[in-house]
Amino acid sequence: MGKEKSERIQTSLLNAKEKVLLIWLANRQPSWVTSDMLTYFGVAAAVLYAIFCWLSNSNIYFLWAASFCLVLNWYGDSLDGTVARVRDTQRPKYGFFIDHSLDALTTCLFCIGMGLAPVMKLPIAMFILAGYLCLSIYTYLSNIVMEKFRLTYGKLGPTEVRLIIILVFILFMYTPWSTVGFNIGETFWTVFDCIGTVVAIILFTLYICQLVTDLRYLAKIDPPKKASK
């Protein structure tokens, strides 16, 4: 991480079990598998995910391939840092920079893929992306200003988000919800369009609530100074 003294805030539902699994996997990686290799592997999986989402317009079951790519992305993205820590080969500045720069790209691919698939409308997927990127930017600001690196908000983290996307794909393939909805003007909104809109609103709500909370805290520890005469 860029600032090693920062408190890592990780409160996701699967955090404890995931950490045990990642350490187990890291200890069993061949010596030729490096952290950088895993990072780029995760990004490549995200690119394939977006491609399979687009292909699902011709065959809906390509969403299974997209879901598998999410698992591969988790493998690379979650394991790269663990491998470095287990082998004691951390590169704090380089690792932080490359990991989170590529995380931004991966997040874009996740949402663009969702919008390119027949699951939901692209503008709604972009609405979700905007909310997620706001939280990401807030995380980096919090890391700099308060030395708190917030990896999760509430009980949801990147792993839980991937699982939710896979669940949405399964529901889209095997339930009639994709054809259930209502018209707003001349536009037909499906259940999944509504779910996507609610998710985006939740992301922006989390952002605003955390912003207000931390602003109050910062106002107390960094009060305005009286102007010198």
Domain map (residue ranges) of the chain? 7-221
Residue 48 neighbours by CB under 8 Å, 6+ apart:
65, 69, 72
* Pairing assessment for the beta strands 181-184 and 187-190 based on DSSP bridges: antiparallel
More confident residue, 7 or 19: 19
Lowest mean per-residue pLDDT among 14-18, 112-116, 194-198: 14-18
21-71 pLDDT, tens digit per residue, is 999 999 999 999 999 999 999 999 999 999 999 999 999 999 999 999 999
Q: Which two tokens stand for residue 80?
A: 């790269």
215-226 pLDDT, tens digit per residue, is 888 888 878 877
Average pLDDT over residues 121-126: 95
180-204 pLDDT, tens digit per residue, is 878 887 888 999 999 999 999 998 9
pTM of the model: 0.86
pLDDT at 11: 66
Q: Which two tokens stand for residue 163?
A: 């699982």
Domain 7-221 grouped into CATH 3.30.470.20: no
Rg (CA), the chain: 20
Average pLDDT, the chain: 87
